[in-house]
Amino acid sequence: MPGLRVCIDVDDLDDGLRFYTRALGLVPGHRFGEEWAELLGGPCPIDVIAKPPGTVASPTTRALRAYDRHWTPVHLDFVVEDLDVAVRSCVAAGAKVEREIEGKVWGRISVLADPFGHGFCLLEFKGRGYDEVAGTGSST
């Protein structure tokens, strides 16, 4: 199986590192110059990469990087031990709550956005987590 690294574009590397270390308790790993650094402490490294707004996101698209709130079909879910504490920590670091904490069969969830416009979820599992609904066809 291939390894996994998560990459998060930000408009300012130090601001990105500050947010993710304060919000989620990640710790700095290697720094690769002024535009790229890794954060450790989760199940895989997270690379925070400074890319200026308005630059081309890929050579195969006309999409430009923007750091206002945007939607993408791929987002990160961070599993936490205490959702209330994690939401407060993220908000104190600069995140915005977009959906308050909701209870689910498998646990609880809150939807947030980081200061760079990326949406993410915080999850707190209970019981067997997603196995509570596995095979039932329901995520509620």
CB-count exposure of residue 42 (10 Å: 0-12, 13-18, 19+): middle
Q: Give the model's pLDDT for residue 133.
A: 85
In whole numbers, what is the pLDDT of the chain averaged over residues? 95
Give per-residue pLDDT as tens, 41-58: 999 999 999 999 999 999
> Domains (ranges, CATH) in the chain?
1-53 (3.10.180.10), 68-140 (3.10.180.10)
Write down the pLDDT at residue 136. Answer: 65
pLDDT at 1: 80
How much of the chain is helix, strand and coil, in % rounded to 5?
20, 35, 45
DSSP conformational letter for 65: -
What's the rounded Cα separation, in Å, for the pair 140 and 132? 10
Q: Would you state the pLDDT for residue 16?
A: 98
Q: Which residues of the chain are modeled with pLDDT < 70?
A: 136-140
Q: What's the whole-model pTM score?
A: 0.90
How far is the C-alpha of 106 from the C-alpha of 87, rounded, in Å?
A: 18
